[in-house]
Structure 1
Amino acid sequence: MMKLSEFSTFIAPISLSDHALAERFRKQHGNPVKAKQVYLNTLAVSAVNFYLRCMGVETNWEVSQSYDPLMQAAMDVADLEVGDRGKLECRPVLPDVQVVYIPPEVWSDRIGYVAVQLDPSLQTATLLGFTDISGVEEVPVSQLRSLDVLLEHLRQTAPATTLEAPVNALVSERVNLSQWFENLFDAGWRSLDSLLGTGQPHFAVSLRNDSRLNEATVKRAKLIDLGLSLKERSVALMVAITPSLGSMNTPEVGSQMEILVQMHPMGGETYLPTDLRMSLFSPSGEMLQEVRSRNHDNYIQLRRFRGVPGECFDIQVAFHETCLTEMFTI
């Protein structure tokens, strides 16, 4: 069971496609030291690219120096082109290292430097913060500025068109879950019965024997369309909220709510697409937990978590380069 809390960093997933790209670049360099450098740099850039796109910031990695094998061979480079604003340098930081190394060849022509700490398994990357100070080779992690400052820096200095949300970074209006107990539901959130009528029995199977759901539990689901990324296939996001019950078996005012979140295939599909990611984020952008679909998963589920009325959290659904964020207030 998790309690929602606030953090200042951001944990980005490193997908199989990220590793495939890093491996493709690595194979183009015969020197083992250079090959490892390119691999780690690629993972760092992919993490920052994921974060910025989910925040609605336009990027263009393909025109960056870090995407060019010739530039990779000539320099220790991990840049990411951010719209018309310029280049962000995405510096990998190994576990337990307390300084960020910034090579001299990237001291110029950069709008900032983001520190990306790679976990030992290379499954996730933590964006620790950023600095806009150039001309120094090592920056202590303790001196980094927050990611919120980075986003504000981009918003203040970039042309308006640079920070328009791209079509593959979709964010919904915030949903008030407490209103569900008053039968007030936002557009798109349907009863499970209406979705069960489309021939999706896995909803009932996943919930039938769940003893922690009771008569006070409210369940709703919403169709999620990730467009061409899923080849026009839809999935359904299911949210169940259960209040603590008082002595009269009624919800206690101001009590903690237990929240269950699942993802199901729709449109007659039996299984979810492989490597579909569902993540829980705090309001500050910290990933609190994540689950990925495997082959032949007919649904995925986050670990239950609790919150009190007024707390906020976000659920993000991501597949390849497309991500959609549903925002909630308890």
Structure 2
Amino acid sequence: MSSTETLCVKVPLGQEAHAIARQFAAEQTTPQKGKQIYLNTLAVYAVHNYLKWLQIDTALGEGDSWHPLKRALFDIADLVLPNIGRLECRPVQPGETAISLPPEVMENRIGYVAVQFGERLNEVQLLGFIKTVTFSSTSQEIPLLSFKPLSFLFDCIPDTVTSSSLSASQIGVRLSQWFENLFENNWMSLEEIFGSRNEKKFALRSLSSSSGGSVERAKIIDLGLDLGNESIVLLVAIAPLAEDKLEILVQLHPRGEKTYLPSHLKLNLQTESGENIQEVESRSNDNFIQLKRFRGYPGEGFNIQVSDGNFTIKETFVI
């Protein structure tokens, strides 16, 4: 059975990816070239995000696809893996059964990833990987059925980086799946953590659309020896809005019989690339802290970071 039938990986594409693609496409002299670069950029960004979730280093800005002159002159979608080589991320449009390779991408590549686009560009499917192949003078195509599972890509990566040890939190919490009662490990119901306490009511009251469809989950965070093995609770509540948007509330609570949070805990909302958007810090008498409610579209990603100067814990989320 081919990898394209059962082993595809879906990767969301948020506003950050589309903003970069629009910028690169707007620099071109023809609509055709602009569309080519738009899809190439999204394909590279998707593979970059996938590898980032697996904690595999990439050098996004060092590829020819990120070079203004080279991307204008050539049809390239390369992603640099430091000390490993260049990975070509080829877009596959609906109905296509093979990827066609221009001459400029047939050399100096460790392999190729097929990136399947649909009618909507909020996510793509990574269909598989194939190592560099020898082409005949009459064929510059790779049939999609020839692609292997993405795990074959890791044969090209040193053993110091392994995907098998990755946790769900490192790959990303898929919030949209919560509406289908699909929850990642360690994300529990509020009743499991708080019992009969009233945090659930407070979380829902803080959401404008709490009258229907809200889902909330919480995760225990161990603060370690520096804070006497104390634990706190990260609470996330989501609610559907119009146009497929989600409203999101994030709070930090003490656990167990504790009344107040430790002082000087910082709760941050960050973009996919790590840029701070919001920050709130606990005081000595805070029994909870929360970020301002925010909204997002399907495919967008963000990070929630908890820190106090001695430790930093980050959770990655995808809407």
Which TM-score tier does this pair reach, normalised by the shorter chain?
Answer: 0.5 to 0.7
Residue 67 of structure 2 corresponds to 68
Query: Aligned partners of 1:59, 1:102: CA distance in 2, in Å?
Result: 22
The alignment status of 1:319 with 2:318, answered yes or no, reads: no
Residue 138 of structure 1 corresponds to 141
SS in 2 for 1:170: helix
The alignment status of 1:125 with 2:147, answered yes or no, reads: no
Deviation of 1:159 (Å): 6.8
The alignment status of 1:154 with 2:156, answered yes or no, reads: yes
Once the two structures are superposed, the pairs formed by residues 296-315 of structure 1 within 5 Å of their partners are none
Residue 170 of structure 1 corresponds to 170
Residue 278 of structure 2 corresponds to none
Deviation of 1:39 (Å): 0.9
Contact 2:187 2:217 (C-alpha < 8 Å) held by counterparts: no
CA RMSD of aligned residues (A): 4.4
Contact 1:9 1:128 (C-alpha < 8 Å) held by counterparts: yes
Deviations 1:115-138 (A, max 9, x none): 001111212111111111334311
Q: What amino acid is aligned across from residue 219 of structure 2 in structure 1?
A: K
Contact 2:186 2:219 (C-alpha < 8 Å) held by counterparts: no
Deviation of 1:205 (Å): 9.2
Identity of matched residues, %: 30
Residue 268 of structure 1 corresponds to 290
Q: What amino acid is aligned across from residue 146 of structure 2 in structure 1?
A: Q
Deviation of 1:33 (Å): 2.2
Deviations 1:64-122 (A, max 9, x none): 11101111022111000113211110000101111011211111111110000111121
The alignment status of 1:83 with 2:66, answered yes or no, reads: no
Once the two structures are superposed, the pairs formed by residues 84-103 of structure 1 within 5 Å of their partners are 84-103=83-102
Residue 37 of structure 1 corresponds to 36
SS in 1 for 2:20: helix
Deviation of 1:145 (Å): 0.5
Query: Aligned partners of 2:110, 2:304: CA distance in 1, in Å?
Result: 24
Residue 259 of structure 2 corresponds to none
Query: Aligned partners of 1:88, 1:10: CA distance in 2, in Å?
Result: 17
Q: Label 1:159 to 1:8 Cα distance change in 2 as closer, same or farther (>3 A).
A: closer
Tell me the number of residue pairs that the alignment of Structure 1 and Structure 2 aligns.
234
User: Structure 2: any 5+ residue segments left out of the alignment?
Assistant: 173-183, 222-232, 239-246, 252-288, 306-313
Contact 1:199 1:268 (C-alpha < 8 Å) held by counterparts: no
SS in 2 for 1:145: coil
The alignment status of 1:16 with 2:15, answered yes or no, reads: yes
Higher RCO (C-alpha under 8 Å, 6+ residues apart) = 1
